[in-house]
Every structure is written in C-alpha cells, then in structure tokens.
Structure 1
Amino acid sequence: MKLTLATLIMLASFTLPVVGNASTTLSSEPLVQPSIDQPATSERSAAPSQQNSQVEQWVYIAQDHRQDDAARADALRNLARFPSQNSLVAVVRALQDENMLIREAAIVGAEPYQFAHRWRMIAPLLNDSEWQVRMAATTNLIRDFSNMSSDQQQVMTPPVAELKAYLLSRQDPSSQLLLADVYRWHQEWDKAQVLYEQRLKVEQGNSQIRLSMADNLRAQGLNKQALAVLNNGLEHQPQEANLYYSQALTLVRLEQRNDAAAAMRKAAELAKTNSYFWYLNGVLQENVDLAESTKSFEQAYLISGAPEQLYAVCDIYVRYANEKAGDCIDELAKIAPSDVIEELESKRN
C-alpha cells in the first residue's frame, strides 16, 4: 500500500484533528487508538446519518451542565469511539470540569488521539487533587512510555509509582492484569511476564491475557515466542478475531507475509464491522489477491466513512487502473485538500 504517513495526516486532518499511526508498513497501532491495546471486534455499524446524530447528541450532553453528571460522563466515554473536532472540544472542556467524575470520564474520551495531543491535554491531571483522576491520567499516558522524551518519563515517575502501589494492594483479576500491563508499558518485561503467566493459569479463557503477553514478547523482539502464545490461544478460542489480528502482526514481523494475510482475512471476517481490520486486510492482500485487497479497502470505507480509508480506495483504484478511479477521486475531492487530489491524479498517467 503506497500511503505515506504525511499524506494520511494531511487528509485525515481535513476532518479530524489528529489520527493514529499509519504508514506503508503494517503497524500495531490502529488509525484510532483502542482503549487498551487491541482494537475492539466491532465498531461503527449504524447508518452514517444515525451515527452522526448520536455522536452530536453525546457532544451536546457532555457539555450541558444541566445534565446529570452520570449522563455527561457516559457521553464522554462514548465519544472515545468517535474522534472528531466536536468530540475533541467536548473532551478538552470536560478535562477542566470541577467534577471529578467528569474529568475522569474525559480522560477516557481522550484515548483515541495521538500521544502528543493527549500529553498536552492530560498531563496536568497527573497532579489532580483526586486520586481516581490521577490514576486514570497515569493509565492513559503510561501506554506511550516508549514514545516519551526523557523529561516526560521523569514527570511520569511519581504517578507511575503511585499507580503500581495502588494496583499491588488489590488482588482482583482486573487490577492484576492492569498491573501486568503497566509493567509492560513501563518496559519491565520480566515482571509483566510473571503476572501474565499467573493470570493465565486461572483465566485460560481470557484472550486479553494472551494478547498482552504476545505484545510483551514482541516488544522484546521475541516474535516466535509471541506466535506460540497466540497459536495456543487460538486452540482455546478459534473464533477470537483479536487473536488472529495479533497473529497477523507477529507473522509480518517474522516475514511470513502469506500466512499473515490469511490470519488478517480471518480477523476481518470474524470481526465483521471493524473497519481497521478490513483496511489491514487490504494492505496484506494486495500482493496475494488484488481483487480481495480492493474489496477489503472498499469494505473498510463503507463501514467507517473515514476520509483516509476513502483515500486508500482511490489509491488502489488509480494504481491498478480501475474503471472507478475517476469517480472515486471526484468523491474524495469533496472533502480532501487539492494537493492530495493532485497527488492521486499524477498516478493516473
């Protein structure tokens, strides 16, 4: 797929303030960051007009101080699935709200945005007067520890210590799994591995444990071990889309592209309405089955309506002289900057 990061950012920023990582190389980071590490198995399935109406309603509720606090918090959490300019405005305002519940929910609403933007929005809350807000802010930002500057990492030291101490004091499964994730994000690989293995002994059916364990191994370059963990997981849960997704990422790193494409196809088919999975399937299928690749890009756009995915459709149309290339570019021209259109047009010659 010949999409450059600069092009995607330029295009997506025409309608969205920021997008997640995307490049010509398959990345473990989706266009919109998930709430934990793995993409959800479903996303936008309503008609675009219904969806937009619902999102705007959440934006309104989140900012309406006459609403019940619980309703405002719920609206902010829902906005995490639908990043947009209006969603971002609602989240930024809520991060400064006097109500602790609203600030905490706004941190969840900020999850889809790139780290640089989240840092500016959320870092002030690392010193919030309420410990729940500090814990939520720390959990949100620690995921990007490896992307932080040395100064940012130093700022994170006290709140990370507080978060670890809190989680160590709790024995419930969700807290123990989050502690393992915190160790992983903080690059304490061995501590994370010990906890994942402990949790797996008592929760064989929890696919998130294997997904996180595979991430922990991949982060250390232990891709064969990560693949073994995922293969074992699929023996227990052969219908779990996220396991196939993670398997595809691992196979790419092992340069087993055909097997990776097969795994990604399975992930997309099982998830059904996850546009990012269909997009990645398009990327991986291009050198395996052009027709399937094209259909996958089309499916991704039909599900999400995202401009960067419309660009992906137009791009593959143009590069392979599809008869629908002109119509696609005309549609994209309604929302995209002129230089993006000019770039696509130059490929038609």
Structure 2
Amino acid sequence: MMKKHITLSLAGLICMGSFNAAADTDLPELKAQTSSPVQVPASTQESMPQQSQAQQLAYQAQDMREAVSVRSDALRQLARYPNQSSLVAVARGLKDSSEEIRESAVIGAEPYQFANRWRMVSPLLKDSAKSVRITATTSLIRDYGNMTVEQKQAIETPVEELIAYLKTKSDSATSLLLADVYRWHKEWDKAETLYLSLLNPKDKEDDSSNLNAPQIWLSYADNFRAQEQDEQALKVLDNALTLFADNAALYYSKSLTLVRLDKKKQAADAIQMAAELEPKNSYFWYLNGVLQESFDIDKSTQSFEQAYLISGAPEQLYAVCDIYTRYSHPKTDECLAELEKVAPPFVIQQLKEQKPQVQS
C-alpha cells in the first residue's frame, strides 16, 4: 500500500511541477512593470462556477463520511482553486490521521506562497510514513533557493531520502524529477548529466521520454539560468525550438531569458509567439502587454485587454486602466469606473494623476 501511495503522490507532484520555467518570473525587470496595487483575495478572481466547484471540493475533502479516496481526490483538485476555503481544507488534511489524505493535502498546498507552505507542510518532513515524507520533500525542495539557513538544514536529510528513493526508479518521468531535485538543490553538474541522458537515451528505440521532451529542454535551460549562464540557456531553448516549434512554454522561457540578456525587442517577439500559440493563457497576453509597450502601444494595449477578457482578474483590469490613462485612451473613464468596483479610492486617484497634462 505504501508503494502505491508514493507512486500516486509523485505522479501528482510531477504533473504539477512540470512547468519549472515559471520560476523565471522572479525577474526584477518584469516585477517592476507588472506589479499591481490592486490586492484582492484569490477567491474573488474566480468565476462563479469556479467558486462553486472550489466550495464543493473543500466540503468534500473535509467530509468524514466520504471514502478516503474521494477526500484525497478532492484535496488534489483543490490545487487548482487556491482560496480561503481551500486553504482551510488543505490545512486540516495535512493533519489527518490517514497517510493518503496527508499526501494529497501536500499536493493541494502547492499554489500557496512558500512561507505559508513551509509552515504547513514542513512538519511532515518527519512524518512516520515514508510516503508522506517523500511527498512533502518533493513539494518543498523546489524553493530551496528561498530557504533560510535553518530551513536548509531541516530539509537536508529528507532530500537524501528523496534522492535515494528516486534512484530506485527507471522511468523517464521519475528521472526528470530526480534531475530537477538536483537542480533545485544546486547540484547542477548532476542535474545536467541526467538531463543530457534523457535527451539522448542509450536505447534509441525507447521513445518513452518523448512526451516529456519539451519539459526536459525547459528544465535543462533552467539549470543554466540558475547558474546565471543565460547565453547557454538561450542556446538550449533555441535548439529545443527547432524540434518543438509550436511549444508556447519554450517561447515563454526564451522571452524571459532574453529579458535577462537585455534583448527586449527579441523578448517581446518571443512572448508574442507564446501568446499566439496558447491564446487562452491570460498571463502570456499580460506579459506581452508589458514587453510590447516600448515598441508598439496598440499591440500592448490590445494584449492587456485580451488578458483581462480571458481572466477577468482585477490586477489585469488595473493594467488596462493604467495604459489607457497614460496614453489618453478614449475609454479611460469607463475603465476607471469599472476598476472602482474592486479597487480602493487611492488606486483610482493615483491612476488619474497619471493622465497627461493638457498644454494651455
């Protein structure tokens, strides 16, 4: 039973952590431009059907009358709906007497900020069940670079146990996770060796890793990014794009790499490709708005509008109103009136003060 639990939990963590290039959003150049003073609870950013689904799952996860398998599934699904009710359900699940429930709650905790996640999940690093320890370590090690000295010391022994366990497996997905663990743990040479072995398997007839191939390239590039070797990361991504020219995640990672290299026009072109390849991704359109502003105001404005149209998120409405105000868009007042419904008065006032002064 324990092996089954570990397999299920690792499968969930591998899936949830597959887009590791998202870590690139720590770029100060983009943070400065995309930060929004409109802070609202995550629950208010969801559509009504999503809120209803989240409430139902949160209730199901805590309903002791339900089977453990049903409650576990609900907890894993809550990772898609981070809000207050989900957080309560996850926090309770992490303290449940059932090993399977605790593991699933770790997956449900994935969307929350590291400080909160460490506080909730780190006690499970010493859990009596190996499967729970493995799952908790896999979740927390991603943020090794953000840990304090004390946190790093606390996770060292669990990381050794995780690596030892992953080495007993031979499938490509687990090998990729092991390489990622090495990367997160700053063992970059070991990570690179594994990434290259996955990209160039000895058994050429075994194409079992093909489904993971774009992610292998992304993680391999991120291994160079973590060492501040951005030129090398760019070469890796360009090589990957010759094989997977329609992969939006590769263009996204390339765009952020180009930003770090101060090649803003090329970065804008790359994020435009990512948005066009994945047109329902509001975040890609949002970043496209940020990066295009220096080169094409109309394209930037339309990208912000598209991002808000897709997500309905208040911070993306703020971005629309911000660019409307600064460039005297005819719908500025209409946008500000809509933003007033979710933003405090001082935010509206700050935006109004950005209006270009009319020369007398």
Aligned twin of 2:115 = 116
Q: Does 1:261 align with 2:268?
A: yes
Name the aligned partner's letter for residue 272 of structure 1.
P
Tell me which of 16, 20, 25 is aligned to 2:42.
Answer: 16
**CA-CA distance at 1:125 after TM superposition:** 1.1
Q: Which residue of 1 aligns with 2:106?
A: 107
Provide the rounded CA distance (Å) in 2 between the counterparts of 1:248 and 1:310: 23
The TM-score, its normalising length taken from structure 2, stands at: 0.83
Moved more, 262-271 or 336-345: 336-345
Higher-helix-fraction structure: 2
Q: 2:300 aligns with which of 282, 293, 301?
A: 293
2:6: which partner in 1?
A: none
Residue 82 (structure 1) shift: 2.3
Matched, 1:207 2:214: yes
**Contact conserved, 1:181 with 1:192, CA < 8 A, in 2?**
yes
Matched length: 319
Counterpart residue number, 2:331: 324
| CA gap 1:157/1:303 in 2 versus in 1, 3 angstroms | same
CA distance change for structure 1 residues 115 and 89 in 2, over 3 Å: closer, same or farther? Answer: same
Contact 1:3 1:312 in 2 (8 A): no
- Per-residue Cα deviation, 1:212-242 (whole angstroms, up to 9, x for no partner): 0000011111111111111111111111110
Q: How does 1:10-89 map to 2 (within 5 A)?
A: 11-12=38-39, 14-16=40-42, 48-89=47-88
CA distance in 1, matches of 2:88, 2:308: 25
Displacement of 1:120: 0.9
Amino acid at match of 1:104: E
Q: Distance in 2 between matches of 1:129 and 1:331?
A: 52
Residue identity matched to 1:187 = K
* CA contact 1:217–1:226 (8 Å) conserved in 2: yes
- Gaps in structure 2 of 5+ consecutive residues: 1-28, 202-208
C-alpha contact (below 8 Å) 2:50/2:81 kept by paired residues: no
* AA at the equivalent of 1:320: Y
Q: What RMSD, in angstroms, separates the aligned Cα atoms of the two structures?
A: 2.2
Q: Which residue of 1 aligns with 2:179?
A: 180
Is the CA contact (8 Å cut-off) linking 2:106 and 2:136 kept in structure 1? yes
Deviation at 1:175, TM superposition (A): 1.4
Counterpart in the other structure of 1:275? 282
Matched, 1:135 2:134: yes
Between 1:305-314 and 1:123-132, the stretch displaced more is 305-314
C-alpha deviations, 1:75-95, integer Å up to 9, x for none?
Answer: 222221222222222222221
Provide the residue aligned with 1:194 in structure 2.
193
SS of the aligned residue for 2:42 comes to coil
Give the whole-Å Cα distance in 1 for the aligned partners of 2:83 and 2:41: 7
- Out of 317-326 and 225-234, give the one that drifted further: 317-326
Shift of 1:5: 8.8
Amino acid at match of 1:11: V
Q: Equivalents in 2 of 1:112, 1:175: separation in Å?
A: 22
Equivalent residues of 1:7, 1:340 under 8 A apart = no
Which of 232, 236, 240 is the matching residue for 1:229? 236
User: Cα–Cα, structure 1 residues 2 and 328, in superposed 2: closer, same or farther, change >3 Å?
Assistant: farther
Distance 2:93 2:176 in 1: 28
- Counterpart residue number, 2:11: none
**C-alpha deviation, 1:7, in angstroms:** 6.0
Q: Shift of the alpha carbon at 1:4?
A: 5.0
Alignment correspondent of 2:313: 306
Q: Secondary structure at the match of 2:38?
A: helix
State yes or no: 1:238 paired with 2:237.
no
Structure-1-length-normalised TM-score: 0.85
Cα offset for 1:183? 0.5
- Percentage of identical aligned residues: 54
* 1:315 and 2:322 are equivalent in the alignment: yes
Residue range with higher mean Cα deviation, 186-195 or 107-116: 107-116
> Deviations for 1:43-72, whole angstroms, at most 9, x for unmatched residues?
x9xxx3333322222222222222232222
Gap regions ≥5 residues in structure 1: 20-43
Q: 1:59 to 1:324 in 2, by over 3 A?
A: farther
Residues 281, 163 of structure 1: alpha-carbon distance in 2 compared, 3 angstrom cutoff:
same
Q: Aligned equivalents of 1:227 and 1:64: distance in 2?
A: 49
After superposing on structure 2, the runs of 4+ consecutive aligned residues of structure 1 that deviate more than 3 Å are 1-8
Report the Cα distance in structure 2 between the residues aligned to 1:278 and 1:6, rounded to whole angstroms: 12
Determine the C-alpha separation between the residues in 1 that align with 2:33 and 2:279.
26
Provide the rounded CA distance (Å) in 2 between the counterparts of 1:337 and 1:104: 40
Deviation of 1:295 (Å): 1.6
Secondary structure (helix, strand or coil) at the match of 1:11 reads coil
1:339 to 336, 340, 346: 346
Quick one: structure 1 residues 337 and 120, their matched pair in 2 at CA, closer, same or farther if it must change by over 3 Å?
farther
CA contact (8 A) 1:268 1:278 kept: yes
Asked if the contact 1:300–1:309 (Cα under 8 Å) also holds between the matched residues in 2, the reply is yes
Q: Cα deviations across residues 278-310 of structure 1 (Å, max 9, x unaligned)?
A: 111111111121111112112222222222222
